[in-house]
Amino acid sequence: MRRFQRCPVCGAPFGPRLPDVLVCGACDFHFWLSSKPAVGAIIVEGANGREGVLLVRRGIEPFKGMWDVPGGFLGNGELPEAGLAREVREELGVSISRPRFFAADVTEYVRDDIAEESRFVLSLYYTCEIPPGAVLRPADDVVEAVWFPVGKLPDQIAFDCNRRVLARLPSLDPAR
């Protein structure tokens, strides 16, 4: 499926598709076929009666009802750390501190309703902290938030990229 048939600048049809770009035959506008950027918050805590990683249950498709890391797509021109703070605030009602880059992953979404031009997502994951004693208020597209021990994460994790990145977390077990 090719969703983008016409130029968003002048409305003319795109010419022949090149490997990484659609070019308008009328105004020469170049529409680059790039991965869509997203961010994910890896919130890990081992104190204050909570130990593990904070996951959220998705309230919307895709993967409604499955567990996810807080996060989402970056806005146009939004820096990753700013998008991370915005997404956590929207989804959990809390602020973050000390964001540190942890990992990146690319996922290809092969579904009938996603156009070939937008099926790749580049996810940037950051470890970060939330204030001690913060009250989580799930909102936006989140149903609930739960702390899971790193070694006992649920099986129903949304998105392959999340599973791969969460598998890289070290155990919080002090005996290790």
In tens, the pLDDT along 107-137 reads: 876 655 545 555 678 999 999 999 988 999 9
C-alpha span between 104 and 127 (Å, rounded): 12
Q: Are strands 67-68 and 21-23 parallel, antiparallel or unpaired?
A: unpaired
Q: Quick check: 121 and 35 in contact, CB under 8 A?
A: yes
Mean pLDDT of all residues belonging to the chain: 86
- Range in 32-36, 66-70, 132-136, 154-158 the model is least confident about: 32-36
SS3 95: coil
C-alpha span between 5 and 111 (Å, rounded): 19
C-alpha span between 36 and 118 (Å, rounded): 7
pLDDT in tens, 63-100: 999 999 999 999 989 999 999 999 999 999 999 999 99
Q: What pLDDT score does 82 carry? A: 98
Q: What pLDDT score does 119 carry? A: 67
pLDDT band at 35 (very low <50, low <70, confident <90, very high): confident
Q: What pLDDT score does 107 carry? A: 84
Please name each of the domains of the chain with its CATH number.
Answer: 1-33 (no CATH), 34-166 (3.90.79.10)
Q: Quick check: 70 and 92 in contact, CB under 8 A?
A: yes
How much of the chain exceeds pLDDT 90, in percent? 59
Q: What pLDDT score does 117 carry? A: 53
12 or 16: which leads in pLDDT: 12
Q: What pLDDT score does 100 carry? A: 95
